[in-house]
Amino acid sequence: MEDRAPVPSPHPARDITEHVGYRLKRASAALRGAMDKALREHDLTVPQYSCLELLDERPGLSNADLARGTFVTRQSANVVLRGLKDAGLITRAATTDHGRALPVHLTPAGQRRLHAARAAVYAIEERMIEAIPAQRLAALLADLDTMSDALDD
């Protein structure tokens, strides 16, 4: 086995738990766990809820748009959409006038389910942001965007 020089840490850290990526993953896992638990009561998964939120904001999005917006593959988005359609929460056109993208829309039942689930999800976000000083929220959001932008190709 050859000797290898240690790789220097990008910032002072005693161990892996002090790295930014670790902390982001820990926060993400905590958020996902809380959302999974809350959304179970509304018979939704996190990707399903995310799709409903996006469709409420921008009706008529395509499968590809929804996949990008919910951070899943197009194949996974198809599975999510099939579940939402089977539950009567969305409608999906069988054909389109132009292109191949089939627009997706919320049904009235989808609107009602989203409204009920949104209250639970927003309560989780409120718990998170109450844990930091209010004057730091804008800076935190800006920093998270800056870090994401730094990794975009």
Token pair belonging to 87: 């539950």
Q: Which fold has domain 16-151?
A: Arc Repressor Mutant, subunit A (1.10.10)
Give the span between the Cα atoms of 75 and 64, in whole angstroms: 9
* Residue 87 host element (H or E): none
**103, 96 Cβ separation under 8 angstroms:** yes
Q: Where are the domains of the chain?
A: 16-151
Residue 100: its pLDDT value, please?
A: 62
Model confidence band, residue 5 (pLDDT cutoffs 50, 70, 90): confident
Q: What is the pTM of this model?
A: 0.85
Token pair belonging to 74: 């197009």
Model confidence band, residue 38 (pLDDT cutoffs 50, 70, 90): very high
3-state DSSP: the chain helix, strand, coil percent, rounded to 5?
65, 5, 30
Token pair belonging to 114: 């989203």
pLDDT digits (tens, 9 = 90+) for 87-120: 999 998 776 666 566 789 999 999 999 999 999 9
DSSP assignment string, 37-49: HHHHTTT--HHHH
Residue 3: its pLDDT value, please?
A: 72
Q: Kindly report the CA angle at 111 between 107 and 35, in degrees rounded to 5? A: 125
Of 9-18, 24-33, 125-134, the least confident: 9-18
Which of 120, 115, 135, 119 is CA-nearest to residue 52? 115
